[in-house]
Amino acid sequence: MNEILYIVMPCYNEEDVLAETSKRLLEKMNKLISDNIISSESKVVFVNDGSKDNTWKIIEEYHKKNPIFLGIKLSRNRGHQNALLAGLMTAKNYADMVISLDADLQDDINAIDEMIYKYYEGNDIVYGVRSARKTDTFFKRFTAEGFYKFMEKLGAKVVFNHADYRLMSKRALEGLAEFEEVNLFLRGLIPMIGYKTDVVYYERSERFAGESKYPLKKMISFAFEGITSLSNEPIKMITKLGIGILLISIVMIIYSIIQYFRGATVIGWTSLLASIWAIGGLILFSIGIIGEYIGKVYLETKHRPRFIIETFLNESKGEINKEKS
């Protein structure tokens, strides 16, 4: 026991919640340190993902007041997954274990204790899984749970009702570093690492303050990103759908020939028009999905950095500039 823990928190326009978040985490860290569960060298790392408000200034103030708080400032907004990866890849150089956590206080920080105990039992990855979604609206709950089930149907292995609240050992983080995808979907990548895993259940709370960073449009985009990043099942579905339409067309041709020899006159303008529009729409949809995959291949071949760290605040070195990955 008594190993170094780093808590990594991506932040985008979180000035409304940082005061309460830092207060609760400081209490939690001090308690864990005093109980000799984690090392006194343990830290909380805030990752500023190009925030437009005072988030970074607040992080700098916390760092000056208490060296337990560290700050990473990305050169620009790169999105939640890239910001989280930047924090994880930085923390793995200093910590024995790292817990990722959102800044909005919806994830119960009391689950951290059990995660750490699971780690000491020999688990390299411990997933925080929501036991209930009582605070979510019916629509949010229905779409979220439907997303996990749909991902599984398409062959993408994700942990049901798990977001990005998890503990990872240094060994697991080194395994994650071997994945070089530009199109990131960590919820699907991390189960691919392997090693021994376990689960901790907790109840998700309402957001303490501020607005959600995942409105419906962004949620749909995130879901589509996850599906196309982890599975090629949509392309297989297009093939199956094409074969199905071909078989229906053959049946309709045979039916039309039979009707012709029977002397029956079939006008069929409406059905013909509907068929043309339906098949045309299907073709465009299919091209769009295939194009999405081609676009991902295009981005992967460029090997662009997934993030660039402009500033890294820590208690011993002050600032380290222009790190990238």
Say what the pLDDT of residue 283 is.
77
Say what the pLDDT of residue 103 is.
86
317 Cβ contact list (under 8 Å, min separation 6): none
Contact 148, 160 (CB under 8 A): yes
Say what the pLDDT of residue 218 is.
61
Along the 325 residues of the chain, how does pLDDT read in single tens digits? 789 999 999 999 988 889 999 999 999 999 999 999 999 999 999 999 888 989 999 999 999 889 999 999 998 888 888 899 999 999 999 999 999 998 888 888 889 999 999 999 999 999 998 876 565 666 666 666 666 666 666 666 777 777 789 999 999 999 998 888 777 778 878 888 888 999 999 887 665 555 555 555 666 666 666 666 666 667 677 767 777 766 676 676 676 667 666 666 556 655 665 567 667 667 767 777 777 777 767 666 767 778 888 889 886 544 444 455 6
Taking only the tens place, the pLDDT of each residue in 113-151 is 999 999 999 999 999 988 765 656 666 666 666 666 666
Say what the pLDDT of residue 322 is.
47
- Of 227, 228, 232, the closest CA to residue 292 belongs to 228
CA dihedral 130, 133, 137, 141 (to 10 degrees): 60
Classify the phi-psi angles of 309: left when phi > 0, otherwise alpha if psi is within -120 to 50, otherwise beta.
beta
Say what the pLDDT of residue 321 is.
47
Say what the pLDDT of residue 100 is.
92
Global pTM?
A: 0.70
Taking only the tens place, the pLDDT of each residue in 157-196 is 777 777 789 999 999 999 998 888 777 778 878 888 888 9
Distances (CA, A) of 273 to 268, 277, 278, 279: 9, 6, 9, 10
Q: Within the chain, where are the H helices?
A: 18-34, 55-65, 80-91, 111-120, 138-153, 170-177, 186-189, 216-230, 233-261, 269-302
- Residue keyed to tokens 């029956």: 264
Please give the distance of CA 24 from its chain centroid, rounded to a whole number: 24
Residues 112, 88, 58: CA angle, nearest 5 degrees: 80
Task: Count Cβ neighbours within 10 Å for each residue of 2-27 and write b for 16 or more, e otherwise.
Answer: ebbbbbbbbbbbbbbbbeebbeebee
